[in-house]
Amino acid sequence: MSKEMDQLKEILAEVSDLNNASAVLGWDQQTYMPPRGAEARGQALGTLEKLAHEKFTSPEVGKLLDALEKQAASWDPDSDEARLVKVTRRGFNDATKVPSTMVIERAELTTMGNQAWQEARSKSEFSIFEPHLVKLVDWARRFAELFAPYDHVYDPVLDQFEPGMKAADVKAIFDEIRPKQVDLIKRISEAQQVDDSFLHQEFPEKQQWDFGVDVVTAFGYDWSQGRLDKTTHPFQTTLGVGDHRITTRVYPDFFNPYFFGTLHEAGHAMHAQGVSEDLKRTPLYDSPSLAIGESQSRMWENLVGRSKPFWEHYYPKLQKAFPDQLGKVDMETFYKGINKVAPSYIRVEADEATYNLHIMLRMELEMAMMEGEAEVHKLPVYWSELFEKYLGVTPPNDKEGVLQDVHWSFGLMGYFSTYALGNLVSAQLWEVIERDIPDISGKIRNAEFAPLLGWLNQHVHAPGAKFEPQEMVQRITGSKINGDAYLRYLETKFSDIYGL
């Protein structure tokens, strides 16, 4: 490769090192940092981010990209190098477009906004957060203007998380699936309801922990390049090549959060562990987008971890781990219980059938705010109206309604939709997997996960961030992101469970 490529890679390697260092500091901050270390940690993180930003946005990078784009005309457009230039250019343009005054302003707005949100949430009083949200929306609109012209003001904020996706694309997908999911939920609500009370019992922590560890080990989570620790909110983080950690939480009186949360984060981590090491210390050593990432976590959590074949293998083991709690609960009852559908107020507790509706509601409100059509102070009213419309229930208060998520307080507009898109992609991939891997259900029933992980490694993980999400899904499945497969999946699964 050319001298310019070597020079670019050298700079990107240092940026990557700084980002990895930030990841270590962030992981430690959430896991083991003593309380009084917080202020110094914030300063160190600020300095690392500043230096990484300075390095990545230096004029030298711009010049190298100019030179490399000319050279790339003669390269294989799918080569690592051609993709590196493309992805680096996108990041460079985005990062240099936002003036540092706005970056600083955003840091201040989100610091104050998050504080206000915490207070508002604890008091269940939206008006405390409202003036901050007004400013954060204003900032996001000014951010979007930097990327004008655009088709829709929501496009630039969405593009941060789903490169290449447009608001119109997502809206079309959501408009297609919404009525069908609403209808499915209605039919389920009219059917014989399932019992999940046995999930709310005392489950000793150690047995929970060991069972989850056994399962993610069987999945193929590689402990030689990972570990599992406890945090308030579970997450996955990459601290460098060969170091992809997950965190979790354990509820002593409820089975679901630890088990399915750990499967979810392990799904993210196996994705990270599967990215080709050839891409290390470049922006390609990453997921193509949040939705592609979420397709992996949701696949292991739901399509595998909430499937019947999975529990045909694991339920006897689970009963052995919790004989007092589950000895008298049969497999069918358990399977139905962990898949119970019921409209609920809180997104993170939502089942597979209702989850996407929580997201659509948020995206509609975000788009309206970005368009300037939604008056922010009326947000709780809009929230309740949409909630009633989609899920048939009305949240009793702001805390369990508009104030439940942290995202907006950090200025994260455009983020939520990636969660729903991830669900859709997981089902699209699964239909291909069912074609490519003979008797995948039988393999799961035998706890043989290597064929599945191997397939994901090859098709989804190894290319890292080389391709934009739509391109990647198109290449693998033959279609762009759409809701058809997910609707088929929901329909089949819940028809069986609820006898529809």
Nearer to a copy of itself, 20 or 339 (CB): 20
Positive or negative torsion for Cα 103, 109, 111, 117 = negative
Does the protein bind a copy of itself through residue 281 (CB under 8 A)?
A: yes
Does the protein bind a copy of itself through residue 242 (CB under 8 A)?
A: yes
Cβ proximity of 292 and 422 under 8 Å: yes
* Residue of 265, 294, 301, 468 marked active site: 265
Does the protein bind a copy of itself through residue 123 (CB under 8 A)?
A: no
Per CB under 8 A, which region of 43-51, 133-141, 155-163, 432-440 contacts a copy of itself? 43-51
Does the protein bind a copy of itself through residue 348 (CB under 8 A)?
A: no
Q: Three-class SS of residue 244?
A: strand
Q: What are phi and psi of 286, to 5 degrees?
A: -165, 180
Per CB under 8 A, which region of 165-173, 195-203, 236-244, 384-392 contacts a copy of itself? 236-244
265 is catalytic: yes
Judged by CB under 8 A, the residue of 14, 94, 400, 484 near a copy of itself is: 14
> CA 187, CA 96: separation in Å to the nearest integer?
51
Cβ proximity of 269 and 246 under 8 Å: yes
Judged by CB under 8 A, the residue of 1, 2, 6, 47 near a copy of itself is: 47
Does the protein bind a copy of itself through residue 38 (CB under 8 A)?
A: yes
Nearer to a copy of itself, 34 or 499 (CB): 34
Judged by CB under 8 A, the residue of 1, 2, 37, 100 near a copy of itself is: 37
**Other C-beta atoms within 10 Å of 261: how many?**
23
Strand 236-240's sheet: what is its strand order? 228-230, 243-248, 236-240
Q: Draw the binding track, 51-70, toward a copy of itself (x: CB under 8 A; -: no contact).
A: x-------------------
Judged by CB under 8 A, the residue of 17, 349, 364, 471 near a copy of itself is: 17
Cβ proximity of 296 and 455 under 8 Å: no
Phi-psi region of 497 (alpha: psi -120 to 50; beta: other; left: phi over 0): alpha
Judged by CB under 8 A, the residue of 5, 25, 218, 374 near a copy of itself is: 25
**Other C-beta atoms within 10 Å of 476: how many?**
19
Give me the helices (H) in 32-166, please: 38-56, 59-72, 80-97, 100-123, 126-145, 155-159
Residues serving a catalytic function are 265
Q: What residue ranges bind a copy of itself (CB under 8 A)?
A: 13-14, 17-18, 20-21, 24-25, 27-28, 32-41, 43-44, 46-48, 51, 222-227, 229, 239-243, 245, 280-281
